[in-house]
Structure 1
Amino acid sequence: MQIIASPSPQLNGSQANQPSLRLLALGDSLIYGFGDPIGGGWVERLRRQWMTPGSPNHALYNLGVRGDGVRQVAKRLENEFRHRGELRNRVPDLIILSVGTNDSPRLARPDGKNFTEFEGFQIGIADLLDRASRLCPVLFVGAVPVDETKMPFLDCLYYNHADQHRYKEATRLACHDRQIPYLDLFDLWMSRGTNWCQAQLTEDGLHPNVSGYQTLLQDILNWEALQQWIGETEVVITHA
Structure 2
Amino acid sequence: MRLIAFGDSMVAGAGDPDHLGWIGRALAGRRAVTLYNLGVRRETSGDIAARWRAEAMPRLVDDEPMQIVFSFGANDCHIEDGRPRVAQAQSLKNAHAMLTGAAAIAPVLLVGPPPMADPGVSARLEGLNDTLKALAARLKVPFIDVFRPLAADGLFQAEALAWDGAHPGAAGYQRMADLVRVHPAWTAFTLAD
Same fold (TM over 0.5): yes
Equivalent position of 1:22 in the other structure: 2
Q: Trace 1:117-136 onto structure 2 (pairs within 5 A).
A: 117-136=87-106
Tell me how far 1:180 sits from its aligned partner: 0.9
In structure 1, runs of 5+ residues without a counterpart are 1-20, 52-56, 150-158, 232-240
Equivalent position of 2:113 in the other structure: 143
1:73 equivalent to 2:48? Answer: yes
Tell me how far 1:47 sits from its aligned partner: 5.3
**Percent identity of paired positions between Structure 1 and Structure 2:** 28
Equivalent position of 1:223 in the other structure: 183
In structure 2, runs of 5+ residues without a counterpart are none
More helix by percentage: 2
- Scaled by the length of structure 2, the TM-score of the pair is 0.88
Question: Take 1:117 and 1:229, find their aligned partners in 2: how far apart are those partners?
Answer: 30
Equivalent position of 2:158 in the other structure: 199
Equivalenced residue count is: 190
Tell me how far 1:164 sits from its aligned partner: 1.0
State the superposition RMSD in angstroms: 2.0
Tell me how far 1:216 sits from its aligned partner: 1.5
- Scaled by the length of structure 1, the TM-score of the pair is 0.72
1:114 equivalent to 2:87? Answer: no
Equivalent position of 2:70 in the other structure: 97
Question: Take 2:184 and 2:58, find their aligned partners in 1: how far apart are those partners?
Answer: 28
Question: Take 2:22 and 2:91, find their aligned partners in 1: how far apart are those partners?
Answer: 26
Tell me how far 1:92 sits from its aligned partner: 4.7
SS of 1:49's partner is coil
Tell me how far 1:72 sits from its aligned partner: 1.1
CA deviations over 1:12-46 (Å, ceiling 9, x no partner) = xxxxxxxxx11111111111110102243122335
